[in-house]
Amino acid sequence: MEVPCVRVPREQGEATRSRLADADLIDDDYDITVADEEGVLYIPVTDPDAAPDDLDVVSRDVPERETQTRPADLLGFEPSYERLGDVVLLDEDSEERALQLAQAIVDSDLPVETVLNKQSKVKGETRVRDWELLAGESTETVHREYGCEFLLDLDAVYFSPRLATERYRVAEQVAADDRAFDMFAGVGPFVVPFAKRSAECVGVDINGTAIEYLRENARRNGVADRITAVHGDVREVAGEYEDWATRLVMNLPHSADEFLDTAIELAGDDCVLHYYDIQHEDAPFDPGERAIRAAAGAEYDVTVETRRIVRSYAPHEVNVCLDVRLERVTR
């Protein structure tokens, strides 16, 4: 069966396999296949769009793993689901179909403890969604991504594994002398990898449970000494970190523009802002860029370094990131 695979020279096979495993991208339903004549390996991946940009993703006929019973073997069709640690996430409108999929997932050889079905969009200030527990007992799990691990409870905090590649892209820009401030930090998927690159980090969140997980994740990843986790409204916390940041992360699409004055308060003389937004596909970067320039006013020169479409969000709507350099104007 043809599935998306990363094609990699054999000598880079193990390093690439381990990189993809860290990002939880290897599709265990298929065998990793060696093509001796080409001198390459084909590593099946679950989400071709999430594979790092420097890897070559192709479609390739690779054998299914015979030793494992997959949900599809039991159902007779290929179900759609996401995996986060040992939790499977479904997005099914029909309760009957959701239960059928959950049963097949539990009966299969997937290493799964819990199956959840989406009951709402992300909502409210904390951006947590409602879930229905279809199998298992706990909504807490450990997710691994690019060499970091995150303990989190889906019932209490926001988390999206779909942003893994984007977070890796941003983390790769972080330098050891950075002072990075995540204004909406959640359980720490930005600040933990930043701190692993030796940056000094502050993560703020209005959700106290997310901040408890962020502290735990800082400990688990050996970077507790470089992360300060603050529970509160970032607008109220910002005063303690005025002019502090060399790097700011704003991952609160839909309302980040309301916090740009706070971002300007936090920015040091030379600061890179990673600004996430959700906009219509026709001009997805313009509203964010306008809002950033308005907030910066005459205080900063604004240079947009990257305009990136992260993923499609809804029909005709895209989730985008602007990487913007703010340089204080000296008079």
Contact positions vs ligand SAM (CB under 6 A): 125-127, 158-159, 163, 184-186, 189-190, 204-207, 210, 233-234, 251-252
Q: Which is nearer to ligand SAM, 159 or 168 (CB)?
A: 159
Give least dist CB 166 to ligand SAM, A. 9
Q: Give me the least distance between CB of 161 and ligand SAM, in Å please.
A: 10
Q: Which is nearer to ligand SAM, 33 or 126 (CB)?
A: 126
In angstroms, what is the minimal distance from the CB of 95 to ligand SAM?
28
Q: How far is the CB of 285 from ligand SAM (least distance, A)?
A: 19
H or E segment and range at residue 193: helix 191-196
Give the nearest distance from C-beta 14 to ligand SAM in angstroms. Answer: 30
Distances (CA, A) of 43 to 4, 50, 55, 72, 121: 8, 14, 11, 20, 33
Which residue number, 78 or 233, has a Cβ lying nearer to ligand SAM?
233
Query: Using an 8 Å Cβ cutoff, are 216 and 148 in contact?
Result: no
Contacts of residue 193, Cβ cutoff 8 Å, sequence gap at least 6: 146, 147, 148, 167, 168, 171, 174
In the bound state with ligand SAM, the residue whose beta carbon lies nearer, of 101 and 238, is: 238
Check if the beta carbon of residue 306 is closer than 8 Å to that of residue 322.
yes
CB 123, min distance to ligand SAM, A: 11
Return the number of the residue (110 or 185) whose C-beta is nearest ligand SAM.
185
| Burial class, 159, CB count within 10 angstroms (exposed 0-12 / middle 13-18 / buried 19+) | buried
In Å, what is the CA distance from 37 to each residue of 4, 32, 40, 41?
A: 20, 16, 8, 11
Residue type, 220: R
Looking at the Cβ atoms of 256 and 324, the one nearer to ligand SAM is 256
